[in-house]
Amino acid sequence: MTLSGQRVLLVYGLMGELVAAFHPFGLDYMHPLRDWFAGQGADVSVVPLRTAESVSANAARLRAVLLEDPRPALIVAHSKGGLETLAALIEPAAQARCRGFLAMQSPFFGSPVADALLAAKPMEAAAGGLARLLRIGSGDGLKDLTTNARRLWMAAASDGVRRIVEALPVACLATALSEGEARGRERLHLAAAQWMEKRGHGPNDGLVPVSSALIPGARHLVLPGSHIATVSGGPGRDPVAMMRAGLETLFSAATQPAA
C-alpha cells in the first residue's frame, strides 16, 4: 500500500488523549504510529474525541470528520476507538469515505474489566465524576465497554457490521499477554490478564479478551503483548512493527477470503 498523500485518521481509546498529553514526560501513546505515518508521507491526524463520551456520541463526531473531506481515509483505531469507528461506518456515506479499518485491541464484545469496575455503584459514580473533572466526557463510555452492552449492540447491528466487512477491508489485531512477556508497566496488565483467564475469559491482553477483539467476517491477527503493546514503545514492545503487521493483514482482506 502506498501511503504518500494518503489520509490517515487515528482514533484513541479510553483516556487516550490524557496519556498522549504526557508525551513530553515519557508516555508515547500512539505517537510512534503517528510519526511513522508522517514519515511515509501520509496526511495523518488524530480524530478529536472526548474518549469517555458514549460510543454513539463519538461515532457521530467521527462520521462528521470522515464526511468533511472527500478523500477516503485509512482508519487505525485503538481499543474503544474501534467501537466508535465500527458504529460510524454503519452509515453508507461514512463507508464511502473509508479506505480501510484496522482495529487494534478493541473490545467489540466487551471487557470483563469494565464489568468489574461498574459492578460497584460507588466506582461507577467515581468514574463518571472523574471523566467530567478531566473533561474527557460524561463517563458513559465506560458503561459502553461492558460485556452486556456490547453483546446487545453487536447483535442489534449484526446486519450493518456484515455489510461493513463486505464493503471494506477490515482487520482486527488482538494481543494475548503471558507472564514471560510482561515487563515494566505491563506487569499491571499481567495481573488483570491472569484474573480474566482464571474466570474463563481465555487469552487476553489485560483488558480485552482475544475473543472480544475479533469481528466476525474480518481478517484476524493475534500477536503476543499487553493492551499497550500496539500503541506505546518500551522494553520488548515495537508498536510500529505490530501496526505494520496489522496493515498487511488489513490489505490482504481485499484479495483473500475473510477469516
Sheet arrangement for strand 73-78: 43-46, 7-11, 73-78, 98-104, 170-176, 219-224
pLDDT of residue 26: 47
pLDDT of residue 126: 47
- Rank 176-185, 190-199, 208-217 by mean pLDDT and report only the highest: 208-217
From the number of C-beta atoms within 10 Å of its C-beta (0-12, 13-18, 19+), residue 233 rates as middle
Does pLDDT of 64 surpass 80?
A: yes
| pLDDT grade for 191, boundaries at 50, 70 and 90 | confident
Query: With contact defined as beta carbons under 8 Å apart, do 251 and 220 qualify?
Result: no
Position with higher pLDDT, 72 vs 183: 72
pLDDT of residue 133: 42
Mean pLDDT to the nearest integer, 69-86: 97
Share the mean pLDDT of the chain.
87
pLDDT of residue 203: 96
pLDDT of residue 255: 46
| pLDDT grade for 155, boundaries at 50, 70 and 90 | very high
Mean pLDDT to the nearest integer, 241-247: 97
pLDDT in tens, 120-142: 655 554 455 444 544 455 668 88
The region that residue 206 occupies, defined by phi over 0 for left and psi between -120 and 50 for alpha, beta otherwise, is left
Phi, psi (rounded to 5 degrees) for 99 = -90, -25
pLDDT in tens, 2-32: 899 999 999 999 877 777 776 544 468 899 9
